[in-house]
Amino acid sequence: MNSGFTAFTSVHDVPDLAPLLEEALRVKASPLAWSDIGKHKTLGLVFFNSSLRTRLSSQKAAWNLGMHTMVVNVGTESWKLEMHDGAIMDSDTVEHVKEGAAVIGAYSDIIGVRAFASLTDKVADTSEHTLSQFQRYAGKPIVSLESALRHPLQSFADLITIEEIRRLANIQRRPKVVLTWAPHPKALPQAVPNSFAEWMLKADVDLTIAHPEGYELDEAFTRGAVLTHNQDEALQGADFVYAKNWSAFLGDSYGRVLTRDASWTITAAKMRLTNDGKFMHCLPTRRNVEVADEVLDSASSLVIQQAENRVVAAQTVLKRMLDK
């Protein structure tokens, strides 16, 4: 029995992962089987940040359900939005989110919002300020397209991918999944690793998280995982290796790059430590910084399958919202 979503911003909006996963596999098998369910409905997509996969997969998912889509890139193609209540708007923001979100809500049946962490204002980031303001003022169900803290559609697509491989390889036990920090020249948010950890800890897998000292994630997301600073040890026996860079979260280091240690790059030699493990990354990735060409271009890489499953994840979520 479907349990429709009124919002999709984290794994906590999902009452039970197993039926959602089965539904996703049905959607993947017959993507056009529900092509009327969204007829005359509109998905508004609001981007505060760049995107390739999320932008395109959300639109394709909506089209597969018969929905129309509208995309707005805030601040470049539309007015720069003021996000703070009570602001005196005598600087560079032109429209308040109270009106902006409400207007987008008036045009849409469901709204997707992408708003990354600033990595400079930890209080605003950890309160999911931008996403919360849309939830407050849009008046329509909100789907997170990656917020300051989480990327639930990515994590759902990752879970679908792991389940597909688990079935294909007939893995009967709980697979060992390793989330490992990897180097990157820029400071990146913690949303993908937070969210991946949160989803994996609810799924039927064993999760290990490896990162250099100082890169501890918020334990609200990682409690229950095996945590280590030894990547090689973590990779032993892994069925899935999920590489991702993130910046520091704790204390005064928030949002900072503490190291670019190349010994954390995922190479073929690193993959040989695993149990014939599969390589995963949400993309985009920096080749030969986060992961070597030899891994990304090998048969063990699942990155394109993960990206394909972004359509499946988005379509399954939208379908449940429309069902509701």
| Binding-site ranges for ligand CP (CB under 6 A) | 51-54, 146, 154, 282-284
- Could you give the maximum distance between any two Cα atoms of the chain, in Å? 61
Q: How far apart are CA 319 and CA 121, in angstroms?
A: 35
Q: How far is the CB of 122 from ligand CP (least distance, A)?
A: 22
Q: How far is the CB of 151 from ligand CP (least distance, A)?
A: 6
Nearer to ligand CP, 195 or 222 (CB): 195
Nearer to ligand CP, 51 or 78 (CB): 51
Nearer to ligand CP, 51 or 300 (CB): 51
Nearer to ligand CP, 37 or 283 (CB): 283
Q: How far apart are CA 271 and CA 261, in angstroms?
A: 18
User: What order of strands is seen across the sheet that includes strand 206-210?
Assistant: 226-228, 206-210, 176-181, 240-244, 278-280
Identify the H or E element spanning 226. Answer: strand 226-228
Nearer to ligand CP, 21 or 313 (CB): 313
Distance of CA 171 to the CA centre of its chain: 25
For residue 280, list its beta bridge partners.
242
> In this structure, are residues 8 and 156 in contact, taking their beta carbons and an 8 Å threshold?
no
Q: How far is the CB of 156 from ligand CP (least distance, A)?
A: 12
Residue 210 token pair: 């490896």
Q: Compute how many other C-beta atoms are within 10 angstroms of the C-beta atom of residue 116.
A: 17
Q: How far is the CB of 39 from ligand CP (least distance, A)?
A: 27
Residue 181 token pair: 């920090």
Nearer to ligand CP, 73 or 259 (CB): 73
Nearest to 134 by CA among 72, 222, 91, 182: 72
Q: How far is the CB of 105 from ligand CP (least distance, A)?
A: 23
Q: How far is the CB of 280 from ligand CP (least distance, A)?
A: 11
Residue 208 CB partners (closer than 8 Å, separation 6+)? 176, 177, 178, 179, 225, 226, 227, 228, 234, 238
Q: How far is the CB of 293 from ligand CP (least distance, A)?
A: 20
Q: How far apart are CA 53 and CA 201, in angstroms?
A: 25
Nearer to ligand CP, 34 or 242 (CB): 242
Identify the H or E element spanning 177. Answer: strand 176-181
Residue 247 token pair: 């910046």
Dihedrals phi, psi of 171, to nearest 5 degrees: -80, 110
Nearer to ligand CP, 19 or 284 (CB): 284
Distance of CA 179 to the CA centre of its chain: 14
What DSSP string describes 85-104?
A: TT----SS--EEHHHHHHHH
Q: How far is the CB of 154 from ligand CP (least distance, A)?
A: 5
Q: How far apart are CA 70 and CA 286, in angstroms?
A: 30
Nearer to ligand CP, 217 or 280 (CB): 280
Q: How far is the CB of 50 from ligand CP (least distance, A)?
A: 7
